[in-house]
Amino acid sequence: MNTTNDLISEKLSTEKYYITLANSRKVIYDYNYRVKENINDEDIYMIPLLFFSKYEKSALLAIKELLEDPKKYFSQMFNKIQKKEDSYTKVYKEKNPAYHMYLSCPLLQSDYLNFYIPEKIRNQGKQKVQEYRDWFIPKINEVHPDKRTAWSIARFQDSHQSKWGFQVNIRAIFAPSSGITKGKNYKITELIELIDDLIIKSNQFYKESDKNTFILDRFGADINYFKMDKTVIKYPGLYSQEKIKQVLNDYDTNFKKPLKKYLPEYYRIKHNPDIALHGNILEELGFVACPRCFKKKETNHYLEI
């Protein structure tokens, strides 16, 4: 006779569950994807990408391989996502990423919102932090973004002053939902057209002037490093640092960043539109079951747990 654990294990190994696009990317970077020295450009896309470093190409290839064949991809991985420890620096405790049973789950589509705990509270220890959390959460819900007015914020500030003896600027940490897709749901033909157009225009930008050609040839493969404000480019040549960084920033903003956004979307739509992965793989990686999805399933008696 199958035990409850056997039933859960069987379900996890046969059913597929859903994660956000942001978490699929996070998996790649948390797992220290292998940097490959010799990458066939055609494995990344039909048209070669100019001025992508081996690290960027390896990351894109890892995302593609993950979506093509998750089981094979993760069989080669060995790092598990570490259990998130409470840092006692934020109102809502840190949690491991979740996997979802239903595409309609509101948590799959929800924005990330958290708040920093003031240093004055943190310095008084963990018990005081928990006390602050218990007070803060119901209070901040009264200042929901949809209802946020100067009056409601002032009221919150007054309550904070009264309770804790000092005023506080609400320091929010916000990230919009990536959901299954981020923004528009593209058709694959639209994405191919967008990507092709970006590559063509990036080539045109490269050939537009001797300056662009020279700068990109010399610094293009390491744009992320050279375009940083603090990076000093030791090059006593024709072009000033300002001009070099301007060209690199233009190329990165107008071509590389959009390509790094659209290519994972292209892989997703082509290979795994819902980013559906077997539950046992996700459990092994350190993902946790979405409490809302699984509570709903338990309530509906779909699974004996």
Q: Tell me: the pLDDT tens digits for 116-147? A: 999 999 999 999 999 999 999 888 877 655 55
Work out the average pLDDT over 157-163: 90
**Structure-block tokens of residue 251:** 């190329």
Which residues are within 8 A (CB) of 225 and not within 5 positions of it... i.e. 6 or more apart?
231
Q: Which amino acid is at 219?
A: F
Residue 94's SS3 state is coil
The C-alpha atoms of residue 79 and residue 205 are separated, in whole angstroms, by 40
Tell me, what's the pLDDT at 27? 65
Helix H segments across 100-186? 119-122, 126-141, 150-164
Residue 179 has pLDDT above 60, yes or no: no
Global pTM value:
0.59
